Amino acid sequence: MLNNINNRTIYIFLAVLLVMLVVISAGVGAVYMPAGEIIDIVLNYTGIKASAVNPVHEGLFFQIRLPRTFMCFIVGAALSVSGAVMQSLFRNPIVEPGLVGTSAGAALGASFIFVFGKLDIFRNMAFMGDLLMPLVAFAGGLAATFIVYSFSSSFGKVNAATMILAGIAVNAMAAGGTGFLAYIARDPQARSITFWSLGTFSGADWKGVLIVLTVSVACIITLAGFAKQLNAIQLGDSEANYLGINVERMKIQIILVNTLLVSVATSMVGVISFVGLVVPHLLRILKGSDNRYLITGSALLGAVVMITVDMLCRIIIAPAEMPIGIITAFVGAPVFLWLLYRNRNSARKGGFYA
């Protein structure tokens, strides 16, 4: 562990990396735009310095590349913070929103609106406009999370193994539901639902970015406020109680906020697994598990990872692009196995990263 490195140094390093990646990511894809051209487009648009820009590239940059990059940024941060918080809350290194069913439940809710949203009953809810889908996704995510939680907890203690198993069952159920919806949907819709179950950023627009941005910023700030309590709960529920924390109330508050965070992100980009699992562990290996550091760090590193992976998706089989869930699974699943291996050995060696 890098105890001698200041947290702030890590944040600054990640932030600089992030800015660089945003510029590169906006340039990469079927049409390549070098950094110089991007700077010209931005300067021209803001009126700082007029220059001759390609109007097609300008449109591409502002309407497609930039919202997509920001969507990656926000969703990466959201999923990683969620993973860090869930791992701390359940005192379990192998949970994340994708594994315990939250994402799959949210995806089921979102695809439900995707397929049935034009029906009469939802006409009455038209006033909710673009918020209807995130809200139903939240309901789906919440239902899935509480099913898993109630199966895996007894007398206030959460059994890690039962939680993973209940997560498998709920994931299968939600995936079955989503598959069924895809089956009964008309063809073009069906195609996008399938694509969605592996996650994609290709549909990102400014409206979606705005919704996810608002919800994520609010949720992440709220969760950061729980950092101290999440640290204390590492001692055990009753010990946290002795430190003045109302553990039951805290758990419910955190689960609600966390599910909202994950569900809204999922309703926009589909299910993206393993990012929330891997990012917090990278940070822990770097510098311990203080949740004040983990939450801020996960937001930054999560954005870095998501933007990078999305760029890979656009490059690998250009001009087509790959669903992002394929790459996160290829990278994340081996990490998951490694964690299981570590977990198995940790008792013997003393300490999870020993």
Partner 1 sequence: MLRAHNISYAIGDKILVKDINLIMKPGEVNVIMGQNGAGKSTLLKILAGSINHYGGEAVIKNRNILGYSQAELAKLRAVLSQHYEIFFPITVDEIVMMGRYPHFKSSPSKADIDICMSTMELMGIAELRNRDYNTLSGGEAQKTQMARVLAQIWHDKDTEQSPKILFLDEPVSSLDLHYQHHIMQVARDFAGRGNLVAAVLHDINLAVSYADRIIFMKDGKIAKCYGAGESIDSEVVSSVFDIKTHSILNPFNGKQLFVVNNRL
Q: Please state the closest distance from residue 346 (CB atom) to partner 1, in A.
A: 8
Describe the crossing of helices 7-27 and 291-316 by its angle, rounded to 10 degrees.
Answer: 20
Q: How many CB atoms lie within 10 A of CB 150?
A: 10
Residue number with CB closer to partner 1 (214 or 246): 246
Q: Are 73 and 309 a contacting pair, CB within 8 Å?
A: no
Per CB under 8 A, which of residues 153..192 are in contact with partner 1? Answer: none
Backbone angles phi, psi at 149, to 5 degrees: -65, -45
Complex with partner 1: residue 38 or 99, whichever CB lies closer? 99
How many other CB atoms are found less than 10 A from the CB of residue 173? Answer: 16
Please say which residue, 205 or 290, places its beta carbon nearer to partner 1.
Answer: 290
Q: Pick between residue 194 and residue 346 the one whose CB is nearest to partner 1.
A: 346
| Distance (Å, whole) CA 258 – CA 247 | 16
Q: Is 161 exposed, middle or buried (0-12, 13-18, 19+ CB in 10 A)?
A: exposed
Smallest distance from the beta carbon of 173 to partner 1, in angstroms? 29
- The binder of partner 1 chosen from 13, 242, 338, 341 (CB under 8 A): 242
Residue from 29, 67, 93, 325 in contact with partner 1 (CB under 8 A): 93
Residue 1 near partner 1 by CB under 8 A = yes
Q: How far is the CB of 89 from partner 1 (least distance, A)?
A: 12
CB 181, min distance to partner 1, A: 38
Of the pair 150, 234, the CB lying nearest partner 1 is at 234
Among 69, 92, 145, 258, binds partner 1 (CB under 8 A): 92
Residue 123 or 249 having the CB closest to partner 1:
249
Give the shortest CB-246-to-partner 1 separation in angstroms. Answer: 6
Q: Which is nearer to partner 1, 7 or 194 (CB)?
A: 7
Task: Count CB neighbours of 190 within 10 A.
Answer: 18
Query: By CB under 8 A, what part of segment 30-89 binds partner 1?
Result: 87-88
Distance from the Cα of residue 193 to its chain's centroid = 18
Q: Give the Å distances, CA to CA, from 10 to 15, 89, 151, 221, 286.
A: 9, 24, 39, 19, 9
Q: How far is CA 315 from CA 262, 318, 320, in A?
A: 27, 5, 8
Q: Residue 64 and residue 133: Cα distance in Å, rounded?
A: 21
Compute the least distance from the CB of residue 285 to partner 1, in Å: 8
Contact in structure between 211 and 219 (CB atoms under 8 Å) = no
**Site pattern 201..240 for partner 1 (x: CB under 8 A):** ---------------------------xx-xx-xxx-xx-
Rounded Cα gap, residues 35 and 88, in angstroms: 40
Q: How far apart are CA 151 and CA 61, in angstroms?
A: 47
Closest approach, Cβ 87 to partner 1, in A, equals: 8
Identified binder of partner 1 from the candidate list 91, 165, 179, 206, rule CB under 8 A: 91
CA distance linking residue 212 with residue 228, whole number of Å: 26
Structural contact between residues 349 and 342, judged by C-beta atoms closer than 8 angstroms: no
Closest distance of CB 288 from partner 1, Å = 5
Q: Which of residues 245-304 bind partner 1 (CB under 8 A)?
A: 245-246, 284, 288-290
Angle between helices 66-89 and 291-316 (to 10 degrees): 140
- Return residues touching partner 1 (CB under 8 A): 1, 3, 87-88, 91-93, 228-229, 231-232, 234-236, 238-239, 241-246, 284, 288-290, 346, 350-354
